[in-house]
Amino acid sequence: MDAKQLQSYKQHSTLLSQFIVRLSAFYEGLSDDLDKELQTLRGHLSGTPNFTLATVSINKLNRALQSQEITVKKYNADAIARLEKSIKVLQKVVFENEALKQNATKQLITLHQPVGDLFSIYPLFQQALDLHHSALTGQFPNALNTPTTADNADPANPLYKSILEELNQLLDSYAQKMPNDVKLLDIKNKLSSGMDEDELLKSCVIVLRMIVQDAMSEASLTGKVIQSLHNSLAKVGNEIQVSMEDSRSQFKQRQAGNAVLQSHIETIEEAVNHSESFDTLKEQTQYCVQNIAQTLNQQIQADTAGQEQLMNLLGSMQSRIEQLQQQTNIYKKKLAEQLSLSQTDPLTRLPNRQAYNDKLSKAFQKWQDTSEDLAVAIIDIDHFKSINDRFGHAAGDKTLQVVGRHLKQHLSKDAFIARWGGEEFVLLLPRSTMKEVKDGLEKMRQTLSELPFKFKQEKVTITASFGASLFKKGDTPEQVFDRADNYLYQAKREGRNQVVTD
């Protein structure tokens, strides 16, 4: 090595040593042990560097920093938790100030996004301090400088993704009812192109208002039906009351007629007992018979009129009851349609998550009672986002429909399938051993990959990843679902298009 190269090496070594000394100052304060070792390292590198001792010190620092990584992550998590708690308390204090409440909500959503390092926490503290300052001063100087462009929304945030999926499902449901609604179409387009958290919150508010309005409309219709039923029942009740009063009146008239008849009979008996001649008896008897006939005739007329009135009343009541039955049947049918609609995914026409939860509750109870095998399987279409990106959302919707139909066709009669959300489907598989479950899922996976998809003249192979788990003693539905979900992600990590089970 010539003198020039040696000089260059010394300069570089000196420069590197100075850089390491300056960089080491950044870690001061993290822990006492690190501070001491960093000071030792700076001593070895200051002046004339001693690289042998510096190497020993660097090795110690490497081990210490590796153990401190967990501490830093815990510090980050604790700091985020404290910020979240503080802002939730602030929300309760400023509940009357809509602007502050809205910005506090934005701050909470931001806190749920992943924080990778210490530097990311500082802006969060700054925003929280600005927010608290605004609350204390009663002013609102746009404290949160949260970006409001779609580029800054983090799709990786689980909360953001979950809200996005739920909103998409709600929009699909209402799109069936109101296909030409301008607000719905606008939100749908924004969801397709991506939206930031502020727009997502506003869209949620719009959809919630729509749901409330629809519920109020449904409640109004229900109220009208109930009022109609009440009116019809009241009329039937009134008619029954009139019928009872008429019956009582006719009964009294019949009693009076019977009393008159009894009087005429007694008169005949008296005439028979006291009459002195046959002619007189005959004359008195004829008179009494005429009165009896007249009384009987009056009773017959009254009974006939009463019977006609009763028949008319019964006919009217029958008509009212038939109307009630018709109204009740219409309402029952509408309720059944509403229930079916609320438990059906509008895109795939498969049961939705609510229907799955209801079915799972019954299946779980049966499993507890009988201990028959019961498995949960989760299916996720591989690279589904790329289908939407390359061929458009219409192609993505078509893919979901075809895949859903294909999966349903390959299920046994007892099995249950539902669209869980996005590109995920969930299965309930009763009375099946894990081997039978795995064999069935493998067949589904294989046949799905053989389906002839074609978008924009391009042949596309659609595959899916599967995760499944069997209920075991002491399990809850949530635990089994989590196991199946973990198996699903294992299948994705290991290359997709495969089945992973217990």
Per-residue pLDDT of the chain (502 residues; tens, 9 = 90+): 567 666 766 666 776 666 576 666 655 666 677 777 777 877 777 777 777 887 887 777 777 766 655 566 666 777 777 777 777 777 666 666 777 777 777 777 777 666 656 566 667 777 777 777 777 766 444 444 444 334 444 555 656 766 777 777 677 766 666 667 777 777 877 777 677 777 777 777 777 777 766 665 665 566 666 667 667 777 777 777 777 787 778 778 778 878 888 887 888 777 777 777 777 778 878 888 888 888 888 888 888 887 888 788 788 878 878 887 887 788 788 777 777 777 888 889 999 998 999 999 999 999 999 989 999 999 999 999 889 888 988 899 999 999 999 999 999 999 999 999 889 999 999 999 999 999 999 999 999 999 989 888 889 999 999 999 999 999 999 999 999 999 999 999 999 999 999 9
Closest CA relative to residue 163, chosen from 197, 192, 190, 187: 197
240: Cβ contacts below 8 Å, ≥ 6 apart:
317
423 noted as active-site residue: yes
Judge contact between 360 and 186, C-beta under 8 A. no
Do residues 179 and 226 lie in contact, with contact meaning Cβ atoms separated by under 8 Å? no
| pLDDT (0 to 100) of residue 436 | 95
Cβ neighbors of 35 (< 8 A, separation 6 or more) are 28, 29
Q: What angle do CA 113, 119, 123 make, to 5 degrees?
A: 65
DSSP element (H, E) containing 195: none
End-to-end CA distance of the chain: 64
CB 80 within 8 Å of CB 115: yes
Q: What is the pLDDT of residue 214?
A: 67
CB 21 within 8 A of CB 45: yes
Fold of 353-501: Alpha-Beta Plaits (3.30.70)
How much is the pLDDT for 212?
64
Helix, strand, or coil here: 381?
strand
Q: What is the pLDDT of residue 480?
A: 96
| Whole-number pLDDT of residue 476 | 95
Amino acid, res. 366: K
Helix 393-409 / helix 384-391 crossing angle, nearest 10 deg = 140
pLDDT (0 to 100) of residue 351: 94
Q: Which of 37, 165, 199, 423 is catalytic?
A: 423
Please give the backbone phi and psi of residue 459, each rounded to the nearest 5 degrees, phi first: -75, 135
Pair 497, 490: CB distance under 8 Å:
no
